[in-house]
Structure 1
Amino acid sequence: MAPKRRGALQLVQREVDEINKQTDSLVKDVQNQVGSTEEAFQRCQELQMSSEETLKKLKELTKADELAPVGNYDQRKQEEERRLQNMLERLNSLSLELSPPGPSSAAGNVSKEDSEDGTDEDDDSDDDDDGDTDGNDGEDEKRAVKPSSQSDPRIYTVLSDFKGEQEGDLSVQRGEVLRIIRKTADGWWLVQDTKGSRGLVPRTYLKIGSGVDDDDEDEDDSDDDNEESEEEEEEVEELTEDRDKRRISSHTNWSTVRKALTEIDATDVLSAMGAIPSGFRPSTLNTLLVEEGETYRGSHYIQPELSQSQLSFKDLFLDPDTGRVRPCQVRTCVCFTLWGCRMIPTPGVGVQVLSRHIRLCAFDGAQVLSNIHTVRAAYNSKSPKTWSFSPRMTGILPTLLDGECFLRCDSTDPNLGILFELGVTFIRNSTGERGDLSCGWAFLKLTDDAGKPLPNRTYELPVNGGTPYETDVAVEASATKGSPGGVFQQMLQARRQPKLIVKLKSTNSRTRTQLSLLPDTLLHSLSCVHLLALHRQLLADTLLMDRPTMQDADLICSPILSTFPVLLDQTDLLDALRSAWLEAETSMSRAQKRDLSYLKQEFIKVYMSSVYFLLHSPSLPRHRWGDPPSEEQRARVVYATLETLKNLQHSTGQSGRPEVFVEQTHSHLAFDISELSFDLLRVAR
Structure 2
Amino acid sequence: MAPKKKAGLQTVQKETDELERKVNALVQYFNTLGVSERAETSQRCSELQSTVTAILTTLQKLTKADEWAPVGDYDQRKRQEEERLRTLQTKLRALTVQPQDNSAEDEDDSEDEDSQEEHADFAQDDDDDDDDDEGDDRKSAQKSDVCYVVLSSFRGQEEGDLIVKKGAVVKILEKSDDGWWFAQDKEGNKGLVPKTYLKKMSPNERVAEIKNDDDEDEEDGDDDEDEVQEGESDPADRKPSTASNWDTVRQAVSEIDATDVLSAMGAIPPGFRPSTLSKLLEEGTSYRASHYIQPRLSQSELSFKDLQLDPDTGKVLARPARVCVNVILWSCRMIPPPGVGLRVLSRHVRLCAFNGTEVLSNVHTVRASYTPSSPKTWSFSPRVSSMLPSLLDGDCFFRCDSHSPDLGILFELGVTYIRNSTGERGDLSCGWAFLKLFDENGALIPLRTQELIVHGGTPYEGVVDTFHTSTKKGGSTGVLHQILMTRKLPKLIIRLRSPNTRTREQLSLLPDTLLGCMSTVPLLVLYRQLLADTLLLDRVTMQNADLICSSVLATFPKVLDQSDLMDAFRKSWVEQENNLKRSDKKDVAVLKKLFESVYMSSVFPLLFSAEMPDPLWANEDTEAQRARLIYSPTQKISLETMLSSNHKHQAFSIGQISYDLLTSAWN
TM-score class, shorter-chain normalisation, is 0.5 to 0.7
Report what 2:287 is aligned to. 296
Q: Residue type of the partner of 2:189?
A: T
Q: Residue type of the partner of 1:684?
A: A
Report what 1:466 is aligned to. 457
Tell whether the 8 Å contact from 1:567 to 1:574 is kept in structure 2 after alignment. Answer: yes
TM-score scaled to structure 2, two decimals? Answer: 0.66
Report what 1:525 is aligned to. 517
Tell whether the 8 Å contact from 1:514 to 1:530 is kept in structure 2 after alignment. Answer: yes
Q: Residue type of the partner of 2:312?
A: D
1:592-671 equivalences in 2 (<5 Å): 592-640=584-632, 658-662=639-643, 666-671=647-652
Tell whether the 8 Å contact from 1:154 to 1:181 is kept in structure 2 after alignment. Answer: no
In the alignment, structure 1 residue 347 sits paired with structure 2 residue 338? yes
Q: Residue type of the partner of 1:548?
A: V
1:445-464 equivalences in 2 (<5 Å): 445-464=436-455
Match of 2:488 among 496, 503, 517: 496
Q: CA deviation at 1:180?
A: 12
In the alignment, structure 1 residue 399 sits paired with structure 2 residue 390? yes
Supply the distance in 2 between the matched residues of 1:619 and 1:196 (Cα, whole angstroms).
58
Tell whether the 8 Å contact from 2:337 to 2:376 is kept in structure 1 after alignment. Answer: yes
Q: Spell out, residue by residue over 1:24-43, the C-alpha distance to the aligned partner (whole angstroms, 9 max, x if none).
A: xxxxxxxxxxxxxxxxxxxx
Root-mean-square deviation over aligned CA pairs: 4.2
Tell whether the 8 Å contact from 1:121 to 1:152 is kept in structure 2 after alignment. Answer: no
Q: 1:124 to 1:476 in 2, by over 3 A?
A: closer
Supply the distance in 1 between the matched residues of 2:408 and 2:332 (Cα, whole angstroms).
19
Match of 1:383 among 366, 370, 374: 374
Report what 1:312 is aligned to. 303
Match of 1:116 among 96, 100, 103: 96
Q: CA deviation at 1:125?
A: 9.2
Tell whether the 8 Å contact from 1:377 to 1:401 is kept in structure 2 after alignment. Answer: yes
Q: 1:551 to 1:642 in 2, by over 3 A?
A: farther
Question: 3-state DSSP class of the match of 1:430?
Answer: coil
Q: CA deviation at 1:144?
A: 13
Q: Spell out, residue by residue over 1:88-125, the C-alpha distance to the aligned partner (whole angstroms, 9 max, x if none).
A: xxxxxxxxxxxxxxxxxxxxxxx975662364797799
Supply the distance in 2 between the matched residues of 1:296 and 1:417 (Cα, whole angstroms).
17
Tell whether the 8 Å contact from 1:157 to 1:212 is kept in structure 2 after alignment. Answer: no
Report what 2:658 is aligned to. 677
Tell whether the 8 Å contact from 1:610 to 1:641 is kept in structure 2 after alignment. Answer: no
Q: CA deviation at 1:155?
A: 13
Q: Residue type of the partner of 2:326?
A: C
Tell whether the 8 Å contact from 2:321 to 2:401 is kept in structure 1 after alignment. Answer: yes
Tell whether the 8 Å contact from 1:305 to 1:684 is kept in structure 2 after alignment. Answer: yes
Q: 1:405 to 1:168 in 2, by over 3 A?
A: closer
Report what 1:553 is aligned to. 545
Find the structure with the greater CA-based Rg: 1
Tell whether the 8 Å contact from 2:415 to 2:429 is kept in structure 1 after alignment. Answer: yes
Tell whether the 8 Å contact from 1:610 to 1:642 is kept in structure 2 after alignment. Answer: no
Tell whether the 8 Å contact from 1:327 to 1:517 is kept in structure 2 after alignment. Answer: yes
Report what 2:328 is aligned to. 337
Q: CA deviation at 1:548?
A: 0.4
Q: CA deviation at 1:140?
A: 14
Supply the distance in 1 between the matched residues of 2:525 and 2:169 (Cα, whole angstroms).
63
Match of 1:184 among 185, 189, 193: 189
Report what 1:272 is aligned to. 264
Q: 1:158 to 1:314 in 2, by over 3 A?
A: closer
Q: Spell out, residue by residue over 1:350-379, the C-alpha distance to the aligned partner (whole angstroms, 9 max, x if none).
A: 111110000100000110000000000012
Report what 2:4 is aligned to. none
Supply the distance in 2 between the matched residues of 1:405 and 1:276 (Cα, whole angstroms).
30
Tell whether the 8 Å contact from 1:336 to 1:404 is kept in structure 2 after alignment. Answer: yes
Q: 1:664 to 1:594 in 2, by over 3 A?
A: farther
Q: CA deviation at 1:154?
A: 11
Tell whether the 8 Å contact from 1:605 to 1:658 is kept in structure 2 after alignment. Answer: no
The size of the alignment, in residue pairs, is 495
1:184-333 equivalences in 2 (<5 Å): 184-186=189-191, 263=255, 265-291=257-283, 293-333=284-324
Tell whether the 8 Å contact from 1:298 to 1:568 is kept in structure 2 after alignment. Answer: yes
Report what 2:402 is aligned to. 411
Q: 1:170 to 1:121 in 2, by over 3 A?
A: closer
Q: 1:597 to 1:171 in 2, by over 3 A?
A: closer
Supply the distance in 1 between the matched residues of 2:520 and 2:170 (Cα, whole angstroms).
59
Q: Spell out, residue by residue over 1:157-190, the C-alpha distance to the aligned partner (whole angstroms, 9 max, x if none).
A: 9966789999998999xxxxxx9998533379xx
Report what 1:432 is aligned to. 423
Question: 3-state DSSP class of the match of 1:609?
Answer: helix
Q: Residue type of the partner of 1:506?
A: S
Q: Spell out, residue by residue over 1:188-241, the C-alpha distance to the aligned partner (whole angstroms, 9 max, x if none).
A: 9xxxx9x99679x9xxxx9xxxx99999xxxxxxxxxx9xx99xxxxxxxxxxx
Question: 3-state DSSP class of the match of 2:339?
Answer: coil
Supply the distance in 2 between the matched residues of 1:115 and 1:439 (Cα, whole angstroms).
36
TM-score scaled to structure 1, two decimals? Answer: 0.65
Q: Residue type of the partner of 1:310?
A: E
Q: 1:161 to 1:370 in 2, by over 3 A?
A: closer
Supply the distance in 1 between the matched residues of 2:119 and 2:412 (Cα, whole angstroms).
53
Q: Residue type of the partner of 1:403?
A: G
Q: 1:641 to 1:370 in 2, by over 3 A?
A: farther
Q: Spell out, residue by residue over 1:40-92, the C-alpha distance to the aligned partner (whole angstroms, 9 max, x if none).
A: xxxxxxxxxxxxxxxxxxxxxxxxxxxxxxxxxxxxxxxxxxxxxxxxxxxxx
Tell whether the 8 Å contact from 1:118 to 1:153 is kept in structure 2 after alignment. Answer: no
Match of 1:580 among 572, 581, 584: 572
Supply the distance in 2 between the matched residues of 1:365 and 1:171 (Cα, whole angstroms).
29
1:21-32 equivalences in 2 (<5 Å): none
Q: 1:507 to 1:158 in 2, by over 3 A?
A: closer
Q: CA deviation at 1:604?
A: 0.5
Supply the distance in 1 between the matched residues of 2:341 and 2:426 (Cα, whole angstroms).
13
Tell whether the 8 Å contact from 1:459 to 1:503 is kept in structure 2 after alignment. Answer: yes
Q: Residue type of the partner of 1:633?
A: Q
In the alignment, structure 1 residue 363 sits paired with structure 2 residue 354? yes
Quick check: 616-625 or 513-522, which moved more? 616-625
Supply the distance in 2 between the matched residues of 1:168 and 1:410 (Cα, whole angstroms).
40
Tell whether the 8 Å contact from 1:155 to 1:180 is kept in structure 2 after alignment. Answer: no
Report what 1:487 is aligned to. 479
Question: 3-state DSSP class of the match of 2:615?
Answer: coil
Supply the distance in 1 between the matched residues of 2:635 and 2:118 (Cα, whole angstroms).
85
Q: CA deviation at 1:320?
A: 2.0
Q: CA deviation at 1:318?
A: 0.6
Q: Residue type of the partner of 1:289?
A: L
- Amino-acid identity (%): 54
Q: Spell out, residue by residue over 1:392-438, the C-alpha distance to the aligned partner (whole angstroms, 9 max, x if none).
A: 00111111000011111111011111000000000111111111000
Q: Residue type of the partner of 2:467?
A: E
Question: 3-state DSSP class of the match of 2:264?
Answer: helix
Supply the distance in 2 between the matched residues of 1:399 and 1:157 (Cα, whole angstroms).
57
In the alignment, structure 1 residue 373 sits paired with structure 2 residue 378? no
Tell whether the 8 Å contact from 1:144 to 1:196 is kept in structure 2 after alignment. Answer: no
Question: 3-state DSSP class of the match of 2:376?
Answer: coil
Report what 1:13 is aligned to. none
Q: Residue type of the partner of 2:97?
A: D
Match of 2:531 among 536, 539, 544: 539
Supply the distance in 2 between the matched residues of 1:619 and 1:607 (Cα, whole angstroms).
19
Q: Residue type of the partner of 1:317?
A: Q
Supply the distance in 2 between the matched residues of 1:426 and 1:522 (Cα, whole angstroms).
29
> Which ranges of structure 2 fall in alignment gaps of 5 or more residues?
1-90, 122-135, 151-163, 172-183, 194-212, 238-249
